[in-house]
């Protein structure tokens, strides 16, 4: 179905019911999660699953509408994390599946093709894209844009509180929330040595692809 990017846990909890719809929600974590109690207050049928335990293998993801990933960036980038997200990513990007795969906060920085350094490989759930969890935390946005453009990548940056819903087939982003989402792509022209940055800023209820 789609990849969901929440800028912080509060907006995830606020919008969880909307994305879970009538199917089961699941929280994927290790040990205890600070999200479990507030999510269960919104989603009575929430299933909390330790990804390192045997229960994960018994989950029927065909019946799940929302899978919230509450794992650290380090865990997501581990060999086990990459294997798990490879499987879940295929389900979430299949238009015939109903699964929404949700991430929030710092973990957003690893779900693109590369991390902010443009070198370290991410989970590639958003192809050719660097994902920035909080655009206000970027010390030098111009340098980031330059680094991204030199590697032929795109940029998606969140300004909280906001949710970005990425559709793989259409390659578009839909926005919900009071914050905004910056989409940046780069175009080379014959009369310029450097690629030209093209930017879209999306706010609540807007949908767009990256600028051409």
Tell me the per-residue pLDDT of 11-58, one tens digit each, with 9 for 90 and over.
999 999 999 888 899 999 998 899 999 999 999 999 999 999 999 989
Q: What is the number of alpha carbons within 13 Å of residue 177 lying toward its C-beta? A: 27
Question: Is residue 76's pLDDT more than 90?
Answer: yes
* Assessment of whether the complete model's pTM goes beyond 0.85: yes
Domain count, the chain: 1
Of 10, 3, 71, nearest in space to 39 by CA: 10
189: CATH: 3.40.50.880
Would you call 24 exposed, middle or buried from its count of C-beta atoms within 10 A (0-12, 13-18, 19+)? middle
Tell me the per-residue pLDDT of 125-165, one tens digit each, with 9 for 90 and over.
999 999 999 999 998 888 888 889 888 899 999 999 999 99
Q: What is the DSSP letter of 125?
A: S
Query: String of b and e for 160-180 (b: at least 16 CB within 10 Å)?
Result: bbbbbbbbbeeebbbbbbebb
Q: What is the DSSP letter of 65?
A: E
Residue 190: pLDDT band with limits 50, 70, 90: low
Which residue range(s) make up the domain with 41? 2-208
pLDDT number for residue 31: 84
pLDDT number for residue 17: 92
Give the H or E element holding residue 20: helix 9-20
Tell me the per-residue pLDDT of 85-104, one tens digit each, with 9 for 90 and over.
999 999 999 988 889 999 99
The whole-angstrom separation of Cα 94 and Cα 88 is 10
The whole-angstrom separation of Cα 131 and Cα 109 is 5
């Amino acid at each position: 179905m789609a990849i969901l990017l929440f800028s912080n846990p509060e907006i995830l909890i606020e919008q969880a019911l909307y994305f879970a719809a009538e199917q089961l929600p699941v929280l994927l974590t290790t040990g205890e999660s600070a999200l479990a109690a507030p999510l269960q207050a919104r989603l009575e049928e929430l299933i909390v699953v330790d990804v390192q335990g045997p229960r994960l293998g018994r989950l029927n993801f065909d019946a799940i509408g929302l899978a919230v990933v509450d794992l650290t960036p380090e865990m997501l980038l581990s060999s086990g994390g990459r294997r798990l997200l490879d499987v879940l990513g295929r389900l979430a990007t299949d238009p015939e599946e109903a699964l929404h795969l949700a991430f929030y906060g710092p973990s957003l920085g690893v779900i693109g093709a590369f991390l902010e350094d443009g070198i370290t490989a991410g989970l590639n759930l958003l192809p050719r894209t660097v994902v920035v969890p909080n655009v206000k935390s970027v010390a030098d946005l111009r340098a980031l844009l330059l680094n991204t453009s030199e590697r032929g990548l795109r940029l998606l940056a969140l300004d909280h509180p906001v949710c970005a819903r990425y559709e793989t087939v259409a390659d578009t982003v839909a926005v919900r929330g009071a914050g905004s989402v910056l989409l940046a792509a780069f175009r080379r022209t014959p009369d310029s040595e450097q690629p030209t940055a093209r930017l879209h800023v999306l706010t609540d209820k807007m949908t767009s692809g990256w600028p051409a």
